[in-house]
Chains A and B, each alone.
With several copies, the nearest count.
Chain A
Amino acid sequence: MKLITAIIKPHKLDDVKDALKVAGVQGMTVTEVKGFGQQRGHTEIYRGAEYQVDLLPKTRLDMVVRPEDVGQVTGVLVEAARTGKIGDGKIWVTEVDQLIRIRTGELDADAT
């Protein structure tokens, strides 16, 4: 199995989720994260002191998929998450030794 991790813009979550559902992704796990990269942060002001904030809100998706689906899923992800502006995020894929469904003990492809 493969684990696909994607860092996307938070307001793209709904679109991405819908697109992935259509592409047959059965489940995923979503985490609120902050990202640092090329995208410029913003300035905050508190009583005359200016603070440069360079961590920006992002959303992280983790989904374990069958190896043969990786190409399609990343394709769908890229398409749905892209706005074309800096800060759209990254996707990375790692190898999973084993996937288990806790409820049933099913393994790998059966467990997605």
Chain B
Amino acid sequence: MIDRGDTAWLLIATALVLFMTPGLAFFYAGMVRSKNVLGMLMQNFFAMGLLAVLWVVIGFSLAFGNFGDGGWIGNLDYFGMANVGQTATTLGAGGWMADGKGMTLTIPFLLFAAFQMTFAIITPALITGATADRFKFKAYVVFIGAWLILVYAPVAHWVFGGGWLAKLGALDFAGGAVVHINAGAASLAIVLVLGKRLGWPKEQMHPHSLPWTLIGAGILWFGWAGFNAGSALAADGIAVQALYNTFVAASAGMLGWLLVERMKDGKPTTLGAASGAVAGLVAITPNAGYVGGMAPVFIGLAAGIVCFLAIQLKFRFGYDDSLDVVGVHLVGGLLGSLLLGVFASKVYNPAGADGLIEGDLTLLKNQAIASISVLVFSFVVSLIIAKVIDLLMHARVDETDEEIGLDLSQHAEAAYSD
């Protein structure tokens, strides 16, 4: 039965998550040099173009077909949105799912597909931060298209689609593994293939406009309400819990990051404030509907501190993760997924599980398995895709184009003029 309150919430939640991709575009675009602004914006906006269409044609079906099969990938039942209509539906009723009743939607099935579409757009788009300033546009297009089908759709099936990780008992409220570990691991793979930006790390590459980054962070923060609280698929207490957790963790993430930044570098920075908030948001994502009380404060603080430290790794190991997708999304996603094994409590969500804090170690173990599985799968397949593309068409722009910048070389445009 369709509930109009739930439908109202999911309608706007879907729009909110869609709005996150422009937010992400600006969060990143502010950090690049002025010759690469449009290159960054374009990659993100193009993800909104290509991936939505791929999703409704085949992606959704591969991710959510055969719902609750406990398996590896969906089927083609929903190819071209076949069988995806305006009525509510029950998914996976006959499967392994605990109560034998599957997931009963109180919103139109089509809305579920649209909501998931916005996740399928932003997840690959996260990668653009790692590859900034050197990914050839044509190669990028092929990469994210292939990645959606070969990496995102299966992983979404494992976790959100009632696949093997869901069956195992791993939890992921809104995508700690599916979104953040997944995109973060892929980022690491592809920057290894692309190589470092010319001049990195010697040359100074200041953010060309931190206000863009800040407005992007504001939009992300706003949209994350839809991302996490929308993942309750209803306007109920769990959604409220998720909203509360999300906002509080973002705040605590900012505080954590600024604290260590202040200690290490002597000044709290605006970029640090934005980065810390995002780190908190990343880490709370898997936890959003499963924890409560002061847990989001601890999770956020931890994320701010750990991710700040993690972004230094690239200098140690020499991979050029331009805007720290690995440091923030991979590490923050891992941290959040594991902390869920600590802080989860059925007090806040009876359909969830109890974590370490409630005396149970099982969840933490499952979280570790899920995290590692997604990390390894995404890293390996992404590496293969990137390598193949590199062989076929050179994944990276040539040196002159990189010097001129992506805006002119890839898109024949200048970001700013008189």
Binding site for B on A (CB under 8 A): 11, 14, 42-51, 53
Contact = CB atoms under 8 A, between A and B. Distances in A.
B86 interface: no
Nearest to A10: B418
B32 to A, nearest CB: 12
B412 A45 contact: yes
Nearest to A11: B403
B66 to A, nearest CB: 42
Interface of B: 201, 203-204, 206-207, 261, 264-267, 269, 271-272, 275, 308, 311-312, 315, 324, 403-404, 408, 411-414
A44 B272 CA distance: 13
Nearest to A50: B265
Given A11-B403, A14-B203, A51-B206, A46 B271 contact: yes
B308 A43 contact: no
B311 A47 contact: yes
Contacts of B315: 49
17 contacts: A11-B403, A14-B204, A44-B408, A44-B414, A45-B261, A45-B269, A45-B411, A46-B206, A46-B271, A47-B269, A47-B271, A47-B324, A48-B261, A48-B264, A48-B312, A51-B204, A51-B206
Contacts of B207: 46
A42 B408 contact: yes
Contacts, number: 43
A15 B344 CA distance: 55
A46 B407 CA distance: 12
- The DSSP consensus for interface residues of chain A is strand
Nearest to B207: A46
A48 B311 CA distance: 8
A-B residue pairs, 6 tightest by C-beta: A45-B412, A51-B204, A45-B265, A44-B412, A42-B408, A45-B269
Contacts of B408: 42, 44
Nearest to B272: A47
Given A46-B207, A46-B413, A47-B324, 8 more contacts: A44-B408, A46-B269, A47-B275, A48-B261, A48-B264, A49-B201, A51-B206, A53-B414
A9 to B, nearest CB: 9
A51 B269 CA distance: 14
Contacts of A14: 203-204
B206 to A, nearest CB: 6
B187 to A, nearest CB: 16
Of A42, A45, A47, A50, most buried by chain B (CB within 10 Å of CB) is: A47
A43 B414 CA distance: 10
B205 to A, nearest CB: 9
Contact of A45 (B275, B311, B404, B413): B413
A42 B407 CA distance: 12
B33 to A, nearest CB: 10
A67 B237 CA distance: 80
A47 B272 CA distance: 6
B327 to A, nearest CB: 8
